């Protein structure tokens, strides 16, 4: 297991901005590609 493997997976996030009345929600996903050579 490499140190980058802890980053793999999907995370949900919520961001707040002073110019917007409602929070913005989204997700980010990290996975290995090209036979594990890269993290996308």
Per the structure, the count of domains in the chain is 1
1-40 pLDDT tens trace:
788 888 899 999 999 999 999 999 999 999 999 998 899 9
User: Exposed (0-12), middle (13-18) or buried (19+): which is 32, by Cβ within 10 Å?
Assistant: middle
In the prediction, which pLDDT does 10 show? 96
Distance CA(36)–CA(22), nearest Å, equals: 38
Please give the residue range of the domain that contains residue 33: 3-39
In the prediction, which pLDDT does 36 show? 87
């Amino acid at each position: 297991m490499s140190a980058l493997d802890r980053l793999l997976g999907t995370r949900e996030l919520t961001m707040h901005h002073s110019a917007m009345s409602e929070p913005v929600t989204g997700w980010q996903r990290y996975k290995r590609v090209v036979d594990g050579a890269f993290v996308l």
